[in-house]
């Protein structure tokens, strides 16, 4: 039985003085073994990751642990409790309107001066120093920022401080109504097949404020800066290996503990592959895996307002001209056209759609893989 330690991390205060807290579960491993950081529910309605963390803890209790494992459910206590009527909101900070998953930090300008200091040092020393630099940069932002931080930054930076300590980072999200899909840095494509997730988005080295980017972009930029000098510093080698993923577990506002167990096993399989744990019990499922570069992940905006009957099945290639959805316009009944079929003139794979059946003209109706490939 592994000992699971629980800490309560204070991430802010409400107007009444009530503390905003986040539970942090840790299983201690060896310092020389690869480690992982997993969080869930940064977006309020995306709750299934909490159930996956529950199932992971259950599975990990009796698993041989090699490296440190840190698990953070309810990562955003504001978003998590942001209810309106029957629904959970919690995708955007209600005060600033900023997406909660666009508030992490990476300052590209730390790379070049760091690289200059590294000449002649060994790769393990560079790795340790860079990790220290990233943790110090985030602590600087947290503790020595004279003009203060927004509520969201304070939450994000404290989570990021934990994430920077790990080699692998998994940020558990869901779509609105969605199939499972994975955001994977382009260089880590090989690792995507260890997850039981049929759709992988390959993302470039562009920082846009999300946790996965905030943890892999610094390492990727470091690798590139060394490469410019003709020095090999690979972050996908056996000795230095850094990967971060956003794992989209399906639809929002849903807890399914049986599906969560399947997803936890898929994560166990990845952790086993990465030697964070030692077990022989997990194998990736056989499935057709589709990849798509982020630039080809297209949002389709509704050409009209109306009531939507979503038709296209997730995850299956949809031929050109086949309907994505039909839109009902009862205001046109009798003297116009009450039904409109919506289709695309190219083959796509529908990945997710808007959560409501009533849409305005211009609402993001579907997101689809275009120019996809099997791997
Ligand atoms: Zn999300």
DSSP-H helix ranges across the chain: 48-60, 77-80, 111-118, 123-143, 151-163, 189-192, 211-228, 257-273
Q: Residues 51, 92: one domain?
A: yes
Instruction: Give the Å distance between the CA of 66 and the centre of ligand 1.
Output: 29
Instruction: State the Cα angle at 164 between 158 and 169, rounded to 5°.
Output: 100
Dist. CA 131–CA 178, nearest whole Å: 35
Q: Residues 335, 272: one domain?
A: no
Q: What is the CATH number of the domain that holds 319?
A: 2.40.50.100
Q: Residues 54, 201: one domain?
A: yes
In this structure, are strands 87-88 and 323-328 parallel, antiparallel, or unpaired?
unpaired
Instruction: Give the Å distance between the CA of 43 and the centre of ligand 1.
Output: 5
CB 48 within 8 A of CB 249: yes
Instruction: Give the Å distance between the CA of 174 and the centre of ligand 1.
Output: 6
What is the predicted pLDDT for the residue at 1?
A: 87
Instruction: State the Cα angle at 261 between 256 and 266, rounded to 5°.
Output: 125
Q: Residues 320, 184: one domain?
A: no
CB 300 within 8 A of CB 366: yes
Instruction: Give the Å distance between the CA of 195 and the centre of ligand 1.
Output: 18
Q: Residues 253, 324: one domain?
A: no
CB 248 within 8 A of CB 181: yes
pLDDT mean values, one per 10 residues, the chain (375 residues): 95 96 98 97 97 98 96 96 89 94 96 93 95 96 91 97 98 96 97 96 97 98 96 93 97 96 97 95 91 97 97 94 97 96 96 96 97 94
Q: Residues 110, 77: one domain?
A: yes
* Torsion angle, alpha carbons of 142, 146, 150, 152, to 10: -10
- Residue 99 carries which DSSP code? B
Dist. CA 203–CA 201, nearest whole Å: 6
Q: Residues 153, 53: one domain?
A: yes
Q: Residues 306, 242: one domain?
A: no
Instruction: Give the Å distance between the CA of 253 and the centre of ligand 1.
Output: 12
Tens of pLDDT, residues 285-331: 999 999 999 999 999 999 999 999 999 999 999 999 999 999 999 99
CB 34 within 8 A of CB 271: no
Q: Residues 349, 223: one domain?
A: no
Instruction: Give the Å distance between the CA of 252 and the centre of ligand 1.
Output: 9
Take residue 147 and report the two structure tokens written for it: 């003009």
287, 316, 337 - which closes a domain: 287
Tens of pLDDT, residues 25-70: 999 999 999 999 999 999 999 999 999 999 999 999 999 999 999 9
257, 287, 317 - which closes a domain: 287
Instruction: Give the Å distance between the CA of 333 and the centre of ligand 1.
Output: 38
What is the predicted pLDDT for the residue at 134?
A: 97
What is the predicted pLDDT for the residue at 280?
A: 83
Q: Residues 104, 146: one domain?
A: yes
Q: Residues 242, 362: one domain?
A: no
What is the predicted pLDDT for the residue at 119?
A: 87
Instruction: Give the Å distance between the CA of 230 and the centre of ligand 1.
Output: 38
- The residues whose Cβ lies within 5 A of ligand 1, an ion, are 43, 46, 173
287, 310, 332 - which closes a domain: 287
CB 228 within 8 A of CB 209: no
Take residue 67 and report the two structure tokens written for it: 């490296």
Q: Residues 101, 210: one domain?
A: yes
What is the predicted pLDDT for the residue at 189?
A: 96
Instruction: Give the Å distance between the CA of 117 and the centre of ligand 1.
Output: 37
| Distances 74 to 48, 167, 278 between C-alpha atoms, Å | 10, 22, 27
Parent domain of 358:
296-374
Instruction: Give the Å distance between the CA of 42 and the centre of ligand 1.
Output: 7
Instruction: Give the Å distance between the CA of 65 and the centre of ligand 1.
Output: 29
| Distances 300 to 193, 221, 264, 268, 353 between C-alpha atoms, Å | 28, 32, 32, 35, 9
Instruction: Give the Å distance between the CA of 304 and the centre of ligand 1.
Output: 26
Instruction: Give the Å distance between the CA of 292 and the centre of ligand 1.
Output: 19
Structural domain count of the chain: 2
Instruction: Give the Å distance between the CA of 128 and the centre of ligand 1.
Output: 31
């Amino acid at each position: 039985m592994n000992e699971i330690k629980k800490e309560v991390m204070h991430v802010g205060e409400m107007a009444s003085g009530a503390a905003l807290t986040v539970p942090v579960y840790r299983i201690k491993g060896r310092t020389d073994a690869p480690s992982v950081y997993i969080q869930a529910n940064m977006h309020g309605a995306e709750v299934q990751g909490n159930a996956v963390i529950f199932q992971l803890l259950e599975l990990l209790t009796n698993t041989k642990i090699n490296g440190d494992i840190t698990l953070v459910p309810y990562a955003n206590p504001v978003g998590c409790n942001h209810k309106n009527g029957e629904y959970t909101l919690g995708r955007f900070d209600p005060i600033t309107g900023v997406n909660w998953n666009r508030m992490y930090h990476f300052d590209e300008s730390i790379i070049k001066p760091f690289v200059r200091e590294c000449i002649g040092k060994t790769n393990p020393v560079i790795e340790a120093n860079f990790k220290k630099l990233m943790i110090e940069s985030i602590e600087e932002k947290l503790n020595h920022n004279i003009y203060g931080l927004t509520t969201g930054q304070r939450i994000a930076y404290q989570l990021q401080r934990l994430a920077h300590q790990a080699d692998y980072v998994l940020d558990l999200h869901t779509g609105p109504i969605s199939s499972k899909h994975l955001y994977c840095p382009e260089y880590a494509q090989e690792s995507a097949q260890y997850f039981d997730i049929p759709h992988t988005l390959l993302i470039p080295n562009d920082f846009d404020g999300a946790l996965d980017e905030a943890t892999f972009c610094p390492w990727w930029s470091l690798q590139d800066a060394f490469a410019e000098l003709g020095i090999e510093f690979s972050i996908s080698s056996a000795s230095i290996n850094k990967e971060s993923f956003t794992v989209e577990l399906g639809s929002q506002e849903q807890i399914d503990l049986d599906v969560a167990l399947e997803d936890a096993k898929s994560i166990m399989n990845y952790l086993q592959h990465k030697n964070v744990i030692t077990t022989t019990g997990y194998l990736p499922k056989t499935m057709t895996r589709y990849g798509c570069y982020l630039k080809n992940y297209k949002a389709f905006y509704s050409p009209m307002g109306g009531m939507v009957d979503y038709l296209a099945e997730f995850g299956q290639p949809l031929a050109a001209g086949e309907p994505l959805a039909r839109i009902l316009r009862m205001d046109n009944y009798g003297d116009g056209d009450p039904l409109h079929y919506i289709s695309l003139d190219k083959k796509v794979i529908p990945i997710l759609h808007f959560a409501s059946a009533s849409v305005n003209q211009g609402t993001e109706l579907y997101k689809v893989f275009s120019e996809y490939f099997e791997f």
